[in-house]
């Protein structure tokens, strides 16, 4: 199917940038968020970001891009979209309520996608009531800078839905990787979390400090950021939740959340967003 109008549910950092990417690619785009202040917080940021992303555009060109992006605190604004991307908080109950409503209200031929990083696509697809027209589109944070999108089919996802999702990712200028089958954590997070858990194990054993381990992997393995700085950037609360999900689904010790990670989260040290995590900011 051809995609003309894109909907985004959730206008936080992830959702707002996904919406901007769609508008930049020429799609009519509508973003929904029940929390109206999210628009006040992110729309000015997107206007500044657009200047960075498309320096060759003049003021009229940037205004045209932003004019293609509409916002609404009413979910019914998404009802006539061809593709709706859910980008709300990584909580199954919250996503279930939203996806159930979208599945009932949007047009029959619409595709619903989830931006989840750790929850099962097949499980979320079932909540939508239309699993054959459901798919995972896992963007990385921040979407404006990260080139990869993992395209993850659920068990019942139709082939034409997968093809339309791949086409959309290509049209917004990102690189899609299509998973041959669903797995918890997909590709990147499944590998990354195992490595980060091992790094925390080394720190807990006193073999190296977080700073020393970061420096070792940056200089010895070519990581642009070490694992501890990367976890701080992602958010330690988000990382802990994802770790717990992988450990619960797969039962493998390499994904068991280390005590030092739980301790940071219990102390309210979530990383960059709280200005304190494994590092102070």
The residues that are catalytic are 117, 138, 150, 189
Closest by CA to 110, choosing from 81, 70, 76, is 81
d(CA 278, CA 68): 40
Structure-token pair, residue 134: 């459901």
Pairing label, strands 5-9, 148-153: unpaired
Residue recorded with tokens 């992602």 = 234
d(CA 193, CA 227): 9
d(CA 63, CA 52): 14
Pairing label, strands 28-32, 111-114: unpaired
Q: Of how many residues is the chain composed?
A: 281
């Amino acid at each position: 199917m051809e995609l003309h109008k894109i909907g985004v549910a959730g206008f936080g950092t992830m959702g707002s940038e996904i919406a901007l990417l769609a508008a930049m690619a020429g799609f009519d785009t509508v973003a929904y968020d029940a929390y109206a202040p999210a628009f006040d917080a992110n729309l000015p940021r997107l206007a500044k970001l657009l200047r960075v992303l498309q320096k060759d555009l003049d003021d009229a060109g940037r205004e045209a891009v932003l004019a293609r992006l509409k916002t609404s605190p009413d979910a019914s604004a998404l009802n006539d979209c061809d593709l709706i991307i859910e980008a709300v908080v990584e909580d199954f109950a919250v996503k279930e309520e939203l996806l159930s409503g979208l599945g009932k209200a949007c047009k029959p031929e619409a595709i619903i996608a989830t931006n989840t990083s750790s929850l099962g696509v097949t499980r979320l697809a079932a909540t939508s009531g239309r699993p054959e027209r459901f798919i995972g589109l896992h963007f990385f944070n921040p979407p404006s800078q990260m080139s990869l999108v993992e395209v993850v089919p659920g068990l019942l996802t139709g082939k034409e839905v997968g093809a339309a999702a791949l086409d959309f990712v290509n049209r917004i200028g990102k690189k899609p990787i299509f998973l041959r089958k669903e797995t918890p954590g997909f590709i990147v997070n499944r590998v990354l979390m195992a490595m980060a858990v091992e790094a925390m194990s080394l720190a807990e054993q006193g073999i190296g400090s977080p700073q020393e381990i970061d420096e070792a992997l940056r200089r010895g393995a070519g990581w642009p950021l070490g694992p501890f700085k990367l976890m701080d950037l992602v958010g330690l609360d988000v990382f802990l939740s994802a770790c717990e999900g992988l450990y619960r689904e797969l039962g493998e010790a390499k994904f068991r959340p280390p005590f030092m990670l739980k301790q940071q989260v219990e102390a309210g040290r979530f990383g960059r967003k709280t200005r304190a995590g494994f590092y102070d900011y």
